Amino acid sequence: MKRVMFVCKKNSARSQMAEGFAKAMGQGIITVISSGLEASQVRPEAIATMKAIGIDITDQTSKPLSDFKPEAFDVVISLCGCGVNLPAAWILRDVFEDWQLDDPAEQPEIFPRVRDEIKTRVTQLIESLKTDVVSIG
């Protein structure tokens, strides 16, 4: 099973939504967690936007990246363009992507659009990791 880290600046919205989608869609394929360059709080708008489509992230918490070791993860996904600020050990995992999604915290009306973009990308990521598992196994 692949181990995935979603990382963002504050781990308050985009990375939390990605974690929620990955947990809901990736059972048996991946284990997932999210973190931020700094920890904060999960934004109520992120919780509400996910709840609107039936995914409950109310129990998720914001965590600092410094609480984790890069070697514990196979896949690292930055959602905010913060990849340039990550230590090299995080960028050099088996898979590293920087999705650079708009920050809905600055424009709350875009939460649904950003959520849907995250869902599409998480779906593609899980599909690619399924292929990896099949071709390796």
The residues assigned a catalytic role are: 8, 80
Helix 14-25 crosses helix 111-136 at what angle (to 10 degrees)? 40
Q: From CA 36, how far away is CA 9, in angstroms rounded? A: 5
